[in-house]
Structure 1
Amino acid sequence: MTSASEGRSLFDAQPGEVTTNIRRIDQTSNIGQEAGAAFAGAQDGDVIDMAALGTGHKEKNKRRNLTLWIVLGILAALVVLSLSWFFGAGWYFQDKAALGVELGGTSVAGQNAEQLKTTVNNAVANSKVTVTDGDGKSVTASLADLGVKVDVDATVSQLLAAKSDNAIAKVNPFASQNVALNATVDKLKLSDYLTENFVQESDRAVASSIAYDDASKTFTATEGKGGRTPEDTGVVEAVNALISEPGSNKNVSVEYKTVDMPISLDAAQKAADEANTRLSAAFTINNGNSKTFTVPVEQVASWITPTGDPSNGTISLSYDKQKIVDYMASTLPEQLNQQMVSQEDVIDGNGSVLLTKVKGVDGVTVKNTDAVADQVYNALTGGQGADVQVAADVTAHDVKQVKSEMRIVVDKTTQTASVYKNDQLVKTFLVCTGRDGGNESDNGTFAIYLKYASQDMTGLNDDGSRYLSKGVKWVSYYNGGEGFHTATWNYNGIATGDPANHGSHGCINMYEQDSQWIYDNCPEGTIVQVVGTQPTGPVR
């Protein structure tokens, strides 16, 4: 411990200099302040514990620093929690309705697309309008009864998109947004519903209307009439309120009025003419390869929706784009996709192509049918047709070559049929080909494609009468109705080689044993080459 006098020596001061030195220390440190205060109040003989003064000061600094760190830790924790909430909530709600999103005043936050679809359907089902008149008649109608068409999928999309333009607002539970139904109202259907339920048929005012007629494949107009009708203003307001906030029951009282024909026949005919302009324009889609598809008129008609507005006396046309999108997605692959078919070429021993037995077809798989739907929709609304090529993935066909082992050369000049095997002559037969005029055997390269051991043959003679040859044997067709076969009735024509006078209807007439040899030894796929010129008389 140090006395006051010893304390003075500690600061290297004379008794009269203590105060000055203490002040100097006071200006540079807190401990100086504490020491100065202690010295100022000290009497001779008092003991001042300088070590305790220093220790107390350190403890205060420690407490002060600890408090600062605690505050900083709390702030850091709050920042981490805030960021965790922001990013965690953003991730959780990325495919769900955001916090604060409501339908009909009820929160749908956290619901995914399927859950929202159920919620929307339930809200629509629970939306009713009870209509009464002064005579005590009452009816409770659904939105559909009153001409409301709700696009559930579009409503779900709007619920999912609500508040998504601001990431902070999306996870803010205190910022709410009510989403209305995505819906349209057919005021004519609403008016007709009220009239049918509140007015006797003989007294009703009926608007002229249009509808598609399957028989004529056109929209036709039907004339209405004047009469009595309920005033629908209150019902329209109730419907609009339910579209904005669905899920409840509205009560409306109606009065009656007498009106002229709500929509004139001229207005209806004008709308029908406009619709028929759309039907007269063709919508053709091709796959860029070998297939083309034209949309049937009745299908186009199903995309056109007439909507009457009795309050304005008009009928307007709208076009259902979603129906067009769905139709293109389901129909175009069915109509325009094609399987790849390998081409089969028959070649001779030198590799030369004698005949394309099977024509190759590229494989085509259409894609992006929504783009086609967009073009068709735009053309339809503009009153024009469209010729559209759909995008597609194409697989080019390959080519397979098959060497012809058997080949038959029919020479009309010599009236013979020579059979070659691997280009080596095997046999030559006498024949009689088709006679002059429309029955002459066609020149060209063909292949045997169908065979019968026995067949009844029929056709027309030159004079138009029908012939029938029963039990014709050993038939080998190579070109439509032309083929090799036995012709027992024309052995003289075969012997003389005289098609001008004894020719067939186009087939190659042969002796029975010869036609049987062709049948037995020349399988389907055998090449048949018909060459030469028609003789004017016997060649043998």
Structure 2
Amino acid sequence: MSDNWYVDSGIPEPPVPHGNSRNAANAKSHASDDVQSTMQFSPLPPAAQFTGPSTAQPASDVNLSQFEDRSDEGAATSHGHVGLIVTLVLLFLLIAAAVGGFFAAQSYFSDKAAPGVMFGSRSVAGQNAAQLTQTVTSAVSDSRVEVADNTEHDTKVSLKDLGVMVNVKATVNKLLQAKSSAGALRINPFQRQQVALVSSTDESAMSDYLTTTFVPQNERAKASTVAYDKETKQFVVTVGRQGKAPQLATVKSAVAQIVNNPGSTTSAAITYGSVSMPISEDAARQTADTANKQIDQSVEINNGEGKSFTIPADVLATWIKPTSNLDKGTVTLQYDQDAISAYLQSELPKQLNQDPVTQEDITNAQGTVLTVTTKGVNGVTINNTDTTAQKVLDSLTNGSTQAITAETSVEKFTTNSHVADYTKPNGDMWIEVDRAKQIATVYKGSTLVKTFNVCTGKDDTQTDSGTYYVNIKYQTQDMRGADYFSPGVKWISYFNGGEGFHSAPWNPVGIATGNPVAYGSHGCVNMTADDAQWVFENAGVGTMVKVIGAQPTGAVR
């Protein structure tokens, strides 16, 4: 085969190896193998991809070396760019996830206790108001003070027995607001805040319990106390006495520990001392007088739409808690906010909610309202009873007698209008009362329906002339005035204040003769029972009544 085989085949000539003779021999051997085994030979890249030869090396070596160097440099550059982009993307995603997580956590804990909020020995993070209420109530129930004296007499006592009044709602609010001043760091779980019970202590109740438990009855000292008496419906005073009483310092300290660590049990050792009456009768009497003034005052709540109710005095009394301070010898009044809130949450909707009532009007053809047969009433729904509870508490504290308006949602009533037509045949019903003829005629539009004999008002209480509308009806009613009383009057249809159609079984002569001068009424239209019943049953509220004619001088029939 000729030396031009590579050229004829279109494949560049293989590079000529150089270096030591061994390498050269190997190169020749490889070249020979390539020539003899063309099926296993992989073509080199086209010559156009190589640069021109240098003088230092054969053209083939230079071109291949440059190609390989460029390929390595491009790959390294490409990998570097990709790595940087991946790093930036990952960093961006991590930042986005952190920011998103932060705002998600802020939203999640907006109405819950924050991370790091502690109540007693437990974390309450993530608990909502209902769950916190259960947690606080349970902790109060589990709290105990183990009291013992030097005679090995001991007992475990609840907070309630020791006169401790816990405000559960205020405690829950305090837990929900904990760490709120920390701003964005509120959700930091490593920043902790301990929340204590919101409570007050009636030291007189504490002393009474411990005295009853540890001191024989004939040795006890007792403070004068104030309490509500259901029979007299007044706060009354029980006068105290001097004697032996337990010292409260260690027990008050134990209570303070539990207030700061609810749900726990702590111990207190008590001693005794001889004391005078801890609270005088006069001090208690002054407090009882103040409490009685408060339950005598009217606490009225309205819905802003004409409906109201007054809180009963015996309910007010259950909210007032006389609280004794034995160190100061005083009795002060405190208020059970939880009880106020619970009562109003239950009672306000029952007392002040109202369904809307559609107003029914009768109009003429020009749209003028002739009469309102049913007065419209706005619908009212009580909202946020806690706001009203705070107003009631403020009213009791300040001794205010001003009415309280509850927070409500109002649904405006709608109106239906009926256009009356009193001129066409069989139109709307109306009644004409003719005083001159002493008759009442019923029409439907222009169609005459019925005529009744009547007796109208006497000279000094004449039935008023004019156009009116039936506005209210009673099947039976006791009727009274300045100089008369008529019990059990039947079939009454009022159209003008106290004037109306009704049965008058005591006046058959006046109705028969049509003589209002001698037998007239106090302004009403007297009828027989059957006729008055017909009007009652057929002339609905809104029926027009026209009173015409002059007052007669005597009988017309």
Alpha-carbon distance, 1:165 to partner: 3.4
User: CA separation in 1, counterparts of 2:333 and 2:230?
Assistant: 19
Aligned-CA RMSD value? 4.6
The percent identity for this pair of structures is 40
1:53-68 map, 5 Å: none
Aligned to 2:294: 278
From 483, 487, 506, give the equivalent of 2:501: 483
Residue 500 of structure 1 aligns to which amino acid in structure 2? V
Deviations 1:459-478 (A, max 9, x none): 89999898999xx9xx6745
From 436, 445, 450, give the equivalent of 1:422: 445
Residue 380 of structure 1 aligns to which amino acid in structure 2? L
1:447-526 map, 5 Å: 447=470, 477-478=493-494, 482-483=500-501, 490=508, 492-503=509-520, 508=525, 515=531, 522-525=538-541, 526=543
Deviations 1:430-458 (A, max 9, x none): 433355677x6576634397698xx9x99
Greater shift, 180-189 or 338-347, is seen at 338-347
Deviations 1:96-148 (A, max 9, x none): 54444433334445555555444434433332112122233221111221122
Any conservation in 2 of the 1:363–1:397 contact (CA below 8 Å)? no
Any conservation in 2 of the 1:149–1:185 contact (CA below 8 Å)? yes
User: CA separation in 1, counterparts of 2:478 and 2:114?
Assistant: 78
Any conservation in 2 of the 1:113–1:156 contact (CA below 8 Å)? yes
User: CA separation in 2, counterparts of 1:521 and 1:89?
Assistant: 73
Residue 128 of structure 1 aligns to which amino acid in structure 2? R
1:264-343 map, 5 Å: 264-343=280-359
Alpha-carbon distance, 1:353 to partner: 5.2
Residue 419 of structure 1 aligns to which amino acid in structure 2? V
Q: Which SS does the other structure have where 1:269 is aligned?
A: helix
Alpha-carbon distance, 1:267 to partner: 0.7
Alpha-carbon distance, 1:188 to partner: 1.6
1:109-124 map, 5 Å: 109=125, 111=127, 113-124=129-140
Q: Is it true that 1:205 corresponds to 2:221 in the alignment?
A: yes
From 266, 272, 280, give the equivalent of 1:250: 266
User: CA separation in 2, counterparts of 1:383 and 1:201?
Assistant: 39
Q: Which SS does the other structure have where 1:212 is aligned?
A: strand
1:429-440 map, 5 Å: 429-435=452-458
User: CA separation in 2, counterparts of 1:98 and 1:463?
Assistant: 75
User: CA separation in 2, counterparts of 1:459 and 1:98?
Assistant: 69
Q: Is it true that 1:166 corresponds to 2:189 in the alignment?
A: no
Q: Is it true that 1:146 corresponds to 2:158 in the alignment?
A: no
Alpha-carbon distance, 1:221 to partner: 2.6
User: CA separation in 2, counterparts of 1:123 and 1:309?
Assistant: 26
From 421, 430, 441, give the equivalent of 1:407: 430
Q: Which SS does the other structure have where 2:146 is aligned?
A: strand
Alpha-carbon distance, 1:308 to partner: 0.7
Alignment CA distance shift 1:226-1:76 (3 Å):
farther
Residue 497 of structure 1 aligns to which amino acid in structure 2? G
Alpha-carbon distance, 1:417 to partner: 1.8
From 204, 209, 213, give the equivalent of 1:193: 209
Q: Which SS does the other structure have where 1:165 is aligned?
A: helix
Alignment CA distance shift 1:116-1:86 (3 Å):
farther
User: CA separation in 1, counterparts of 2:292 and 2:225?
Assistant: 14
Alpha-carbon distance, 1:254 to partner: 1.6
User: CA separation in 1, counterparts of 2:138 and 2:488?
Assistant: 73
Alpha-carbon distance, 1:309 to partner: 1.2
Any conservation in 1 of the 2:223–2:239 contact (CA below 8 Å)? yes
From 150, 156, 161, give the equivalent of 1:134: 150
Deviations 1:326-348 (A, max 9, x none): 44444444333333323333456
User: CA separation in 2, counterparts of 1:447 and 1:81?
Assistant: 79
Alpha-carbon distance, 1:422 to partner: 0.6
Any conservation in 2 of the 1:478–1:528 contact (CA below 8 Å)? no
User: CA separation in 1, counterparts of 2:398 and 2:482?
Assistant: 56
Any conservation in 2 of the 1:376–1:386 contact (CA below 8 Å)? no
From 415, 440, 448, give the equivalent of 1:398: 415
Q: Which SS does the other structure have where 1:252 is aligned?
A: strand
Alignment CA distance shift 1:486-1:388 (3 Å):
closer
Residue 433 of structure 2 aligns to which amino acid in structure 1? V
Q: Is it true that 1:359 corresponds to 2:375 in the alignment?
A: yes
Alignment CA distance shift 1:516-1:130 (3 Å):
closer
Alignment CA distance shift 1:373-1:418 (3 Å):
same
User: CA separation in 2, counterparts of 1:520 and 1:272?
Assistant: 57
User: CA separation in 1, counterparts of 2:290 and 2:139?
Assistant: 37
Greater shift, 521-530 or 417-426, is seen at 521-530
Aligned to 1:18: none
Any conservation in 2 of the 1:448–1:527 contact (CA below 8 Å)? no
Aligned to 2:397: 381
Q: Which SS does the other structure have where 2:376 is aligned?
A: coil
Alignment CA distance shift 1:398-1:254 (3 Å):
same
Residue 305 of structure 1 aligns to which amino acid in structure 2? K
Alpha-carbon distance, 1:207 to partner: 1.4
Deviations 1:299-339 (A, max 9, x none): 33333322111222111122344444444444444333333
User: CA separation in 2, counterparts of 1:520 and 1:390?
Assistant: 40
Alignment CA distance shift 1:415-1:136 (3 Å):
same
1:171-182 map, 5 Å: 174-182=190-198
Where do 5+ consecutive residues of structure 2 fail to align? 1-17, 20-64, 423-427
Alpha-carbon distance, 1:171 to partner: 5.4
Residue 226 of structure 1 aligns to which amino acid in structure 2? Q
Q: Which SS does the other structure have where 1:135 is aligned?
A: coil
Alpha-carbon distance, 1:232 to partner: 1.6
Residue 421 of structure 1 aligns to which amino acid in structure 2? K
Residue 538 of structure 1 aligns to which amino acid in structure 2? A
User: CA separation in 2, counterparts of 1:321 and 1:249?
Assistant: 27
User: CA separation in 1, counterparts of 2:472 and 2:131?
Assistant: 61
Deviations 1:201-249 (A, max 9, x none): 3332221122234455443333222222111211111111111123332
Alignment CA distance shift 1:451-1:417 (3 Å):
same
Q: Is it true that 1:528 corresponds to 2:528 in the alignment?
A: no
User: CA separation in 2, counterparts of 1:76 and 1:262?
Assistant: 76
Q: Is it true that 1:538 corresponds to 2:538 in the alignment?
A: no
Q: Is it true that 1:262 corresponds to 2:262 in the alignment?
A: no
Alpha-carbon distance, 1:150 to partner: 2.5
User: CA separation in 1, counterparts of 2:148 and 2:165?
Assistant: 23
Q: Which SS does the other structure have where 1:166 is aligned?
A: helix
Deviations 1:488-521 (A, max 9, x none): 983x544532123244687645579x93995699
1:440-451 map, 5 Å: 445-447=468-470
- State TM-score, norm by structure 1: 0.70
